[in-house]
Structure 1
Amino acid sequence: MLNVFLDDRRPNPPGYKLARTAEEAIRYLRARQVNTLSLDYDLSTHPVTGLDVVRFMVDRSIYPKRIIIHSANPFGRRRMLRMLLPSKPESVAVTVQPLPWI
């Protein structure tokens, strides 16, 4: 099982595999290899954002055990939380841990 850090600019923390695009993160989710997923909202692939990864999880009911929203964008954090919280299984932990802008 992998820990995946979705971010287009920040380096991955130790113990995390880096996904620079939403598509990369979704590939890991499709393979059901993700234990923890840490999400940024704003990506250089705009208009594709971290919300697209959340939408993928919700639409297909594919969730890692833990989701961290690390985006510094307060609007993006709220959008991802509003979509995740009502649909995720109770066993999935969701936390918000914003990281500073780079």
Structure 2
Amino acid sequence: MTVNVFLDDYRHCPQGYILAKDIDECLHLMYNYSIGHLSLDHDLESKTRNGLMLVHAMVEHQLFAERITIHSANSVGGKNMFRYLKAAQENDQMPHSIKIVLRPLPLR
């Protein structure tokens, strides 16, 4: 079964997505389902377990989605997540076929 996942602890989850409020919930979904679209925030309730930590774990454990959107309004954090994933593709640590986009969403 393929699902879409929205990682965010503040914004409302879009229709057609499963909400993950922290990286542990997101990793659980990634281990147990095929992910069509993964939309990621950087800033989460835990200041030490953020979206950048998640993308590091994704590459380390080879957990990916068909498409990944970084929707964080944190411009520095979002860009760091985007750059890390693009570098993983360039270094053949992640499939080149995965589309990765940086598309910040407003908080409201």
TM-score clears 0.5? yes
Q: Which amino acid aligns with 1:8?
A: D
Conservation of the 8 A alpha-carbon contact between 2:52 and 2:81 = yes
Paired residue for 2:95? 89
Question: Structure 1 residues 3-12 or 84-93, which shifts more?
Answer: 84-93
Q: Deviations over 1:42-98 (max 9, x none)?
A: 001221101121011111222110000000000111110121002131110001111
Cα distance in 2 for partners of 1:97, 1:13 equals 15
Unaligned 5+ runs, structure 1: none
Structure 1 stretches of 4+ moved >2 Å = none
- TM-score, normalization: structure 1? 0.94
- TM-score, normalization: structure 2? 0.89
**Residue 101 of structure 1, CA deviation:** 2.4
Unaligned 5+ runs, structure 2: 89-93
Alignment RMSD:
1.1
